[in-house]
Amino acid sequence: MIKVEGLSKHYGQRIAINDLTFHADKGEIVGFLGPNGAGKTTTMRILTGYMPATTGSVNIAGFDIFKESLEARRHIGYLPENVPLYEDMKVWQYLDYLGDLRSVPNRGERVEAVMGLVGMTDRAESFISSLSKGMRQRVGLAQAILHQPKVLILDEPTVGLDPIQKRDVLELIRELGKDCTVLFSTHILSEAQAICNRLLIINNGQIVAEDSPEKLQRRMTGGERVKVSVAGDADGLMQLFKGLSWLDGIRSVSGNSFELDLPGGGKDMRPAIARLVVENGYELLELRSMDLNLEQIYLQLIRSDAEAGAH
Partner 1 sequence: MRNMWIIARREYGHYFISPIAYAVAFLLFLIVGIIFGLIKTQAPNAPADLQGELGSAMTIFLFMTPALTMRLLADEQRSGTMELLLTGPIRAWEIVVGKWLGAWLFTWTLLLFLAFVYGSVLTAYGNPDYGVLTTSFIGLGMVLGALLALGIIGSAVTSNLVGAMIIGLTINLFLWMFGFAMEAVAGWFSTIDWVQKFSQYMNFTSHLENFQSGVFASIDFAFYVSIIAVSLYLTTRLVESRRWR
Ligand X SMILES: Nc1ncnc2c1ncn2[C@@H]1O[C@H](COP(=O)(O)OP(=O)(O)O)[C@@H](O)[C@H]1O
Q: Convert residues 138-177 into a mask of x (bound to partner 1 by CB under 8 A) and - (unbound).
A: -----x----------------------------------
The reply on whether position 252 binds partner 1 by CB under 8 A is: no
Q: Minimal CB distance to Mg ion: which residue? A: 41
294 vs 305: CA distance, rounded Å: 16
Kindly report the number of other CB atoms within 10 A of residue 164's CB atom: 9
The reply on whether position 101 binds partner 1 by CB under 8 A is: yes
Angle between helices 133-145 and 107-117 in degrees, nearest 10: 140
- Candidates 95-103, 198-206, 222-230, 279-287; binding stretch for partner 1 (CB under 8 A): 95-103
Q: Which of 13, 36, 103, 239 binds partner 1 (CB under 8 A)?
A: 103
- Candidates 77-85, 208-216, 265-273, 300-308; binding stretch for partner 1 (CB under 8 A): 77-85
4 vs 25: CA distance, rounded Å: 12
Angle between helices 133-145 and 163-176 in degrees, nearest 10: 10
Residues near ligand X (CB under 6 A): 11, 14, 16, 34, 36-42
- ∠ CA(295), CA(299), CA(303), 5° rounding? 170
The distance of closest approach from Cβ of residue 130 to partner 1 in the complex, given in angstroms and rounded to an integer, is: 15
The reply on whether position 291 binds partner 1 by CB under 8 A is: no
Q: Which is nearer to ligand X, 46 or 141 (CB)?
A: 46
Strand partners, 7: 20
Non-local (6+) Cβ contacts of 127 within 8 A are: 87, 88, 89, 90
Q: Which is nearer to ligand X, 31 or 39 (CB)?
A: 39
Q: Convert residues 43-72 into a mask of x (bound to partner 1 by CB under 8 A) and - (unbound).
A: --x--xxxxx-----------------x--
The distance of closest approach from Cβ of residue 231 to ligand X in the complex, given in angstroms and rounded to an integer, is: 49
Q: Which is nearer to Mg ion, 8 or 148 (CB)?
A: 8
122 vs 124: CA distance, rounded Å: 6
Kindly report the number of other CB atoms within 10 A of residue 162's CB atom: 11
The reply on whether position 74 binds partner 1 by CB under 8 A is: yes
- Cβ-contact 103, 150 below 8 angstroms: no
What, of Mg ion, partner 1, ligand X, none, does residue 70 touch, CB below 5 to 8 Å by kind?
partner 1
Q: Which is nearer to ligand X, 11 or 50 (CB)?
A: 11
Angle between helices 107-117 and 91-101 in degrees, nearest 10: 130
Q: Which is nearer to ligand X, 2 or 61 (CB)?
A: 2
- ∠ CA(65), CA(68), CA(70), 5° rounding? 90
Residues near Mg ion (CB under 5 A): 40-41, 81
The reply on whether position 82 binds partner 1 by CB under 8 A is: yes
* Residue 290 DSSP SS3: strand
- Cβ-contact 54, 43 below 8 angstroms: no
> Which chain residues interact with partner 1 by CB under 8 A?
45, 48-52, 70, 73-74, 76, 78, 80, 82-88, 97-98, 100-103, 143
